[in-house]
Structure 1
Amino acid sequence: MGQSYDIIVVGGSAGALDALVAMVPHLPGSLRAAIVVVVHMGSTAESNLATILARNGPLPASHANDGEAIRQGHIYVARPDRHLIVSDGKLHLTEGPRENRHRPAIDPLFRSAAESHSDRVIGVLLSGALDDGVSGLAMIKRAGGIAIVQDPADALVSSIPKHAVAQVAVDHVVTSGGLGPLLTRLVQPRSGPATSDAPRSGLDNAVKMNFGDVGTNKEGQHVMYSCPDCGGVLVETESGEVLRYTCHEGHILSAESLLAAKAEMLEAALWEALRTLDERTQLSERFAAHARSRGQTVMQGHFQRRADESRERAEIVRRVLKGGTNYGREGV
């Protein structure tokens, strides 16, 4: 018999908890694979995900510890504010730069699994906004692993599944209720010759990239965009059909994450502009009233014109801010 898939990496964001709770009851307690999970969370959040998964299914679940050996039949969950990666049969926690504005992020886990387990890994993307994990899932496919995506129609937030289906040649698109049975079937030993434990040759540098030297990556093309996290110059690289942007400090963003970050910056700038225009209006009206009280007609007209001008511009910005647009921030 050939070698089986012995590690399952799962990633998601908003709505992923529901999918995981629907998945774990259908996994056998004797599952011959480890499951490693990253779900986006705040850096100061307290995560109860491991407790919830252990309570709802037969497999034990716990938060990952740095240097912990990976055991089959166990669910490992990322901790807040730490990337979770797999290497040399162990779990590793890192405070590396945020990816797609998240830590933990899905892509680091998927990328490390593609490198360390090549065609023995199964990648699963669940509900969530934007597209973190899509690049990593593409790398798992390039390494010979299996790519699974929650059906976008079944996801509470469909953005991650939709992007995955559009950009990756996924093997299975299933509902959350179908994930457990599918994974159980896929983990069974495969027929044919066993594969090597070593990483496959021919993987692109994005798969092999170590976390320690991410900031010194010289490949790709410098672009006229700045990193939303630190302001550094971004380098654009392409892995398959997926574009990624990396700055010198090591922040990594997908196309959708970069667009969302720029949208947030635009909204913040517009609110700042509105506040400044409102203050300019109030100051100009105060100066106009002061000039009027002293009979300074010319100065009164000068300041009143400035007040009217600022008020008109503020109204334009206010209409933009309150016009119902989300500035392209899909799923936010």
Structure 2
Amino acid sequence: MNATIWTEEKELLLRVRGLKKWFPVKSTLGRTINHVKAINSVSFDLYEGETFGLVGESGCGKSTTGRSILRLIEPTEGEILYRGQNLLELKGSELRSVRQEMQMVFQDPHSSLDPKKRIGYAIEEPMIIHRLGTKEERTQKVFELLHKVGFSKEYYYRYPHELSGGQRQRVGLARALALNPKLIVCDEPVSALDVSIQSQVINLLQEIQAELGLSYLFVAHDLSVVRHIADRVGVMYLGQLVEQAPTEQLFSQPLHPYTKSLLSAVPIPNPKIKRERILLQGDVPSPLNPPSGCIFHTRCPFAMERCRTEVPQNKEISIHHYVQCHLYDETHEHH
């Protein structure tokens, strides 16, 4: 899909600006001596009916970003505008009513389901919490949701341990759909599943999205999965979004050196094609003490003197393609 076309047609659903989440590190006396900068000023937009993929190595802050947007963990600062309302200013019943429209599908469906409760109850529970409908209406709705994720009515009476990982993830999706949400944060929803099952769950997510007009924030470390499902992709490194672009553009013309190295590691299905693997120097720095200047300069093959001291600005290089890198400043030639 052409990025310019869909963003002009679609409504902006979610606007995240300058989002930070710092976890305090305490001394033995209980004083805060440092912070783990899990998310350090992240900004992006999500449109109605769109899937925005968030990718990066483990520990880069992508899951924390998803959870902060839903306020499952409280952000340190920033703005999260959902349909123009700043979620960080909402409390009590206001927050609860918006919460209905935003749900989450977790990585491990096993730990998010109560082993002692039947599947039917697991899917009905959000409706009970939000006091929706009568018992009969809720049961009817559960049957509809089971059908939507490809189950027969019999599954209503089953227990989580009787299901495979892929089936449990379908239950997780049915449960997320119970409140008719507009936005679903998918936190690594297929990484715990077999590759053969992954594509089934991804296809199901896409079918349901098309049918209900849902928006997904899709968190993953597997680039091939993201390429399959996302309209646009944001690449995270050490708590920051270093590049954002429409999916095909990101894969065909990656700009940031980190994105290029990530893509160089993705296997190509054709054995005749050889790809030059870009190996990065050193290890990922600690989010306790991120590098000064550009956070990637300690591992970047193109690092210049200014990268050590100056933080690169987020620049729009082409339509909807943003990058945080000094290589693309006006003073330097474009690479």
TM tier, shorter chain?
under 0.3
Give the TM-score normalised by the residue count of structure 2: 0.27
Structure with higher helix content: 1
Please identify which structure carries the higher strand content: 2
TM-score normalised by structure 1 residue count: 0.27
State which structure, 1 or 2, has the greater radius of gyration over its C-alpha atoms.
Answer: 1
Q: 1 or 2 for the larger relative contact order (CA 8 Å, sep ≥6)?
A: 2
